[in-house]
A and B are shown apart, each in its own frame.
Chain A
Amino acid sequence: MDHSFPQKVLEHLFSFIDSNKDRNAISLVSKSWYEIERRSRKKIFIGNCYAVSPTTVIKRFPELRSITLKGKPHFADFNLVPDGWGGYVYTWIEAMAVSVPLLEEIRLKRMVVTDESLELIAKSFKNFKVLVFISCDGFSTDGLEAIASNCRNLKELNLQESEVEDLSGDWLCYFPDSYTSLVSLNISCLNNEVNLSALEALLGRCPNLQTLCLNHAVPLDKLPSLLSQCPQLVELGTGVYSTEEMHPDVLSSLITAFSGCKQLKSLSGFWNVLPSYLPALYPICSRLTSLNLSYAIIQSSDIVKLIGQCPNLLRLWVLDYIEDVGLEAVAASCKDLQELRVFPSDPSCLELNNALTERGLVSVSKGCPKLQSVLYFCRQMSNAALSAIAQIRPNLTRFRLCILEPHTPDYLTLQPLDSGFGAIVEHCKDLQRLSLSGLLTDRVFEYIGTHAKKLEMLSVAFAGDSDLGLHYVLSGCENLRKLEIRDCPFGDEALLANAAKLETMRSLWMSSCSVSYGACKLLGQKMPKLNVEVIDESGPPDSRPDSCPVEKLYIYRSIAGPRLDMPGFVWTMGDDSSRKLELDVAGVEAQFRNL
């Protein structure tokens, strides 16, 4: 078939195909399609930076302009991955600096970036445009100086939730006066003051600025003057949203400033809110599609007053101060709501807080027909509530429930929550992501394995009775890509029996389970295309019997062989001699298919 289309035509056709999935599919059709596709691919997404080497990527995609890399396992977010584990981006930057000088975009998640990496980016890529670091660490404001000084065409600088060593707020001054291309700036994670006059001047000369997320060190009385420099903003993250005492003139200048932002659709920030300043937002509430109040300590009544005026909200993030009554108000006002996240204000508090219960989530599920994505922290749940949610909201695609105390049963019946979660997977046929909590037996995994056919990511903690649980999931969930498990009684049997499944997944994390060192070794030997990494901070697992369980286990498929940057507490299982695989094109394709 491809003989009838000249290469130029195919190239032109492929230029309309953007999504990685589609591009991967195209590359599998034939050798010539593979070649045409790879030479024209501009964007690549690598879900695990250790799955493939920079050289392989660059060789295959010489016209790369945009790369997304993810490093540490997700549980690193919760301090389960020790410092120094890995995820260093430097080797990637180094390789691309040499071979991909036209690179424009780097997006990283959970990777370690250094000032050296930033300096290398700044001087190697003349047309560099987008830098996004989500939950990264390892760099300082010195590195940002290099970026500001050199990246003349920078459009986006987003440091979302990264840990930055904040040495000085003057890095902002390094953007030259001639620099005007900023579209998106997110510095919300910085701890110290940035140079506000430099910031204001920067905002004033960048007419295309759409996103501005300030850090909590930006005082509220400065916000109006900053906003007046960029009234075209679409997304704003405020700094601190209070002053020592309420000043009516601050309020009136806020009202004026917000009213002037006619495009503003998304709000976040709100560290330390003084409720008397919330009315400044009322003029723009009807336009809001996204509201993040998850750092705001305000009472339910204040939240309700605000949200009652936001009928077009698609996304709402709040703390549990909203309470059930507040969520009822959300259900009544926000009929287009797609995503709800309710975070705990006092996570370590074990006292029952009846003000936010399962009832709030049920209200929103009932009232918001477009609800797709839920993250909910609470202290009690029932199978009845979960069933109700499942039946009324079968369109859920992401459901993450965290009952704060492990092993909490259905508070009404004292039964495990198996049937409730079972209802979720049975009714929500397009469920892609699920996080479980509460008292759960192997039963829930049977339901998941039977019904959750579209599930891609599953997070499990303090659940299950035996290996059967793990076996149900590994053998039943056809689309499973990421599985992370902690503190469950899962051992060797299910893992070894389903070894082949692991090659079809991106990764498996197991910590504080019952997988023995011997089984890890066996798995590593049997499965050369997997990196089976044992993490053990108590010393070499060799010094203990093979039957001893390992602390933590991270298994991921890779065509790059064992990694070379492991710290002393990580061991790769299997044949340790250089296992660089000489894979033919077909082999590489198979790996890229689901990366």
Chain B
Amino acid sequence: MEFKATELRLGLPGTEEKENKIMNLSVKNNKRQLPQTSEESVSISKVSNDQQVESSSAAPPSKAKIVGWPPIRSYRKNSLQEAEVGGIFVKVSMDGAPYLRKIDLRIYGGYPELLKALETMFKLTIGEYSEREGYKGSEYAPTYEDKDGDWMLVGDVPWDTFYFICSMFATSCKRLRIMKGAEARGLGCGV
């Protein structure tokens, strides 16, 4: 276990089953790089209020789509998809919070602005990134899912690269996840 922890690797160092869970999620997510992505966004089975904490990271079964529901004109649905063209939209979730935010990366000039925005949005402190120690001192670690479906610590790659990765599939919505607690601490050991 110790040996593994010091191993240089991409993605989350840590337990195997966590990796599998996330791989499941990302395998599903990888299928989302299609024009109609907004129709296939990550779906989570209905969460009752007391189960909030655990389930936001669970790999969800996607529900069968009902024709004509919700009642939104196709004109509007198509327009929403059109509107996303040109923007670089990323869905941000935080472990423990039962809601998502959608942000347009073009608004931010670099990591400091992005992190500040996340801190404001989710009312938490992430702190500063250091290559050696990640976001030490914070309970939270912002991660993103790269093109191979691996979860990376935000800040590991230069901003331009990160921006590019997120913009690569212009019509799909990439995912940013603010991990909390043990999982967060498990990151940032990529020496």
Bound pair: A and B?
yes
CB distance from B101 to the nearest CB of A (A): 7
CA distance A295 to B76 in the complex (A): 8
B83: Cβ under 8 A from any A Cβ:
yes
Number of chain B residues close to chain A: CB under 8 A: 46
CB distance from B142 to the nearest CB of A (A): 17
Residue-wise interface mask of B (72-86) relative to A, using a CB-CB cutoff of 8 A (1 in contact, 0 not): 111111011011111
Whether B69 contacts A355 by the Cβ 8 Å rule is no
Residue-wise interface mask of B (36-48) relative to A, using a CB-CB cutoff of 8 A (1 in contact, 0 not): 0011111111110
Whether B71 contacts A402 by the Cβ 8 Å rule is yes
Closest A residue by C-beta to B93? A351
CB distance from B69 to the nearest CB of A (A): 7
Pick from B63, B68, B79, B101: contact of A271, CB under 8 Å: B79
Pick from A75, A242, A343, A351: contact of B44, CB under 8 Å: A351
Whether B75 contacts A189 by the Cβ 8 Å rule is yes
Residue-wise interface mask of A (367-404) relative to B, using a CB-CB cutoff of 8 A (1 in contact, 0 not): 00000000001000000000000000000000000101
**Which stretch in B13-21, B102-110, B143-151 binds the other chain?**
B102-110
Q: Which residues of chain A in 301-359 are interfacial with respect to chain B, using CB atoms and an 8 Å cutoff? A: 321, 343-355
CB distance from A458 to the nearest CB of B (A): 14
For residue B106, which residues in chain A have a CB less than 8 angstroms away from its CB? 274
**Which stretch in A76-84, A145-153, A202-210 binds the other chain?**
A76-84
Q: Which residues of chain B in 74-131 are interfacial with respect to chain A, using CB atoms and an 8 Å cutoff? A: 74-77, 79-80, 82-87, 89, 97-104, 106-107
A161: Cβ under 8 A from any B Cβ:
yes
Pick from B42, B46, B56: contact of A349, CB under 8 Å: B42
B10: Cβ under 8 A from any A Cβ:
no
B67: Cβ under 8 A from any A Cβ:
yes
Q: Using known A-B contacts A348-B38, A349-B41, determine if residue A77 contacts B73 with beta carbons closer than 8 Å.
A: yes
Whether B73 contacts A78 by the Cβ 8 Å rule is yes
Q: Using known A-B contacts A351-B44, A406-B66, determine if residue A461 contacts B86 with beta carbons closer than 8 Å.
A: no
For residue A363, which residues in chain B have a CB less than 8 angstroms away from its CB? none
Whether B41 contacts A348 by the Cβ 8 Å rule is yes
CA distance A404 to B49 in the complex (A): 17
For residue A47, which residues in chain B have a CB less than 8 angstroms away from its CB? none
B65: Cβ under 8 A from any A Cβ:
yes
For residue A346, which residues in chain B have a CB less than 8 angstroms away from its CB? 38, 41, 102
A230: Cβ under 8 A from any B Cβ:
no
For residue A350, which residues in chain B have a CB less than 8 angstroms away from its CB? 43-46, 60, 63
Q: Using known A-B contacts A77-B73, A80-B68, A274-B106, determine if residue A351 contacts B83 with beta carbons closer than 8 Å.
A: no
- Quick one: which of A189, A294, A346 has the most chain B CB within 10 A? A346
A504: Cβ under 8 A from any B Cβ:
no
For residue B71, which residues in chain A have a CB less than 8 angstroms away from its CB? 77-78, 402, 435, 459, 461
Looking at chain A, what size class is its interface with the partner chain?
35 or more
CB distance from A30 to the nearest CB of B (A): 45
For residue B44, which residues in chain A have a CB less than 8 angstroms away from its CB? 350-351
For residue A297, which residues in chain B have a CB less than 8 angstroms away from its CB? 83-84, 87, 89, 102, 104
Pick from B73, B77, B99, B107: contact of A352, CB under 8 Å: B99
For residue A296, which residues in chain B have a CB less than 8 angstroms away from its CB? 83
For residue A351, which residues in chain B have a CB less than 8 angstroms away from its CB? 42-44, 47, 56, 98-100
CA distance A489 to B80 in the complex (A): 33
A501: Cβ under 8 A from any B Cβ:
no
A55: Cβ under 8 A from any B Cβ:
no
CB distance from B161 to the nearest CB of A (A): 19
For residue B66, which residues in chain A have a CB less than 8 angstroms away from its CB? 406
Q: List 18 A-B contacts (CB under 8 A).
A: A80-B67, A135-B75, A161-B73, A161-B75, A242-B87, A274-B106, A297-B83, A345-B102, A346-B102, A347-B70, A349-B41, A350-B43, A351-B56, A353-B99, A377-B70, A402-B71, A435-B71, A486-B68
What 3 pairs between A and B have smallest CB-CB spacing? A78-B68, A350-B43, A354-B99
Name B's A-contacting residues (CB within 8 A). 38-47, 49, 56, 60, 63, 65-77, 79-80, 82-87, 89, 97-104, 106-107
Given contacts A79-B67, A350-B44, A352-B99, 12 further A-B pairs with CB under 8 A are A135-B73, A161-B75, A216-B83, A272-B84, A274-B107, A297-B83, A344-B70, A346-B41, A349-B42, A352-B98, A353-B100, A486-B68
